[in-house]
Amino acid sequence: MDGFEVSPVEGLRSPVVVLAFTGWSDTGTVTTDVARHLIETTKAERFINVDPEEYFVFTETRPEVRLVEGGLREITWPTNEAWASRLAGAPHDLVTVTGTEPNLRWEPFAARFSSAIAALEPSLVCTLVARPAATPHTRPIPVSGSAADAALARRFGLGPSRYQGPTGIIGVLHDSMRKHGLPLVSVAASVPHYLSVDENPPATLALLRALQPMMEYAPPLGDLERECEAFLERVEEASSGDDQIVQYVRALEEQYQEGDVPIIEPDAELSADDVLRDVEDLLRGDGS
């Protein structure tokens, strides 16, 4: 038993596969918010469900208790799933893979998922990443992409991947799918590092828009644009009264004009760690 429950899914048309997981590659739940948006707006049907008992240490990734109707308590376990969407009028259907980065058995987990996805004969597999960066919330979210295949890189205007170092389950899945010969690209959003909160609608929207030419489909945005406006208004309200935060954001803006993802070396009088704590306190309503 590998914990995978896979239901038959027939007739998908050269699907585009999008992968997003919480954990190492998902700052501010940006990528998994993209996945949830795609699942909800395309009437997706789940066809893979993974038993969490096989892949999690529950003292490290704990289930959550939630109150439901009538005051009853309900346990929510970490999930890993794949959803299929049939996109009328688009040249490809869509498969969305999303879940919680597991604690255990990454290699068999990735191998089983990769085999199930390869059987669908996808036209493209896109892994999503959101990473903290020294970029200001007052500028568009930088989005970059990479592909090892030169033809794919030219087709979508991507560069080669130059990253070396630790990786998460997305990196392991990417490598496992490469061994199946699947066409792979990666798209990354650079999220302002000082906004350490569990959402970032502008980054979610930026990734969705970057995916559109790859999916050849424009998903409905719903309330996402309004949520972006409300989020940025909240950030401005929280930060505008603090001179240290204003100075730090201004420094990031100046660097942003010179490069895609700026790096700031904070000096002794302007500590990025102090700014980060101040912004977190303000956004959570703890500031004065």
Torsion, Cα of 30, 36, 41, 42 (10° steps): 120
Taking the C-alpha atoms of residue 87 and residue 231, their distance in angstroms, rounded to an integer, is: 30
pLDDT reported for residue 270: 34
Closest CA to 245 of 255, 257, 235: 235
Closest CA to 34 of 117, 128, 138, 110: 128
What is the Cα 225 distance to its own chain's centre? 17
DSSP one-letter code for 168: -
pLDDT tens for the chain, 288 residues: list them. Answer: 689 999 999 999 999 999 999 988 898 899 999 999 999 999 999 999 999 999 999 999 999 998 887 778 899 999 999 999 999 989 999 999 999 999 999 999 999 999 999 999 999 999 999 988 888 888 899 999 999 899 999 999 888 877 788 889 999 999 999 999 999 999 999 998 887 778 899 999 999 999 999 999 999 998 999 999 999 988 888 777 778 888 888 888 887 754 454 333 333 233 444 444 545 554 555 443
Cβ atoms 188, 130 nearer than 8 A: yes
Residue 25: CB atoms within 10 A of its CB come to 24
Closest CA to 93 of 208, 215, 181: 215
- The structure tokens 């997981």 sit at 21
List strand residue ranges (DSSP E) for 156-231, in order: 184-192
Cβ atoms 19, 25 nearer than 8 A: no
Phi, psi of 180 (to 5 degrees): -85, 0
Cβ atoms 98, 81 nearer than 8 A: yes
Cβ atoms 187, 152 nearer than 8 A: no
Cβ atoms 95, 81 nearer than 8 A: no
Domains of the chain: 4-222 (3.40.50.10900), 227-283 (no CATH)
Q: Which amino acid is at 63?
A: P
Closest CA to 135 of 236, 278, 239, 258: 258
pLDDT reported for residue 271: 40
pLDDT reported for residue 20: 97
pLDDT reported for residue 258: 46
Cβ atoms 189, 126 nearer than 8 A: no
> Whole-prediction pTM value?
0.85
Three-state DSSP at 196 gives coil
Cβ atoms 224, 199 nearer than 8 A: no
How many residues comprise the chain? 288
pLDDT reported for residue 279: 54
Beta strands 143-146 and 124-133 are unpaired
Three-state DSSP at 57 gives coil
State the chain's maximal CA–CA distance in angstroms. Answer: 61
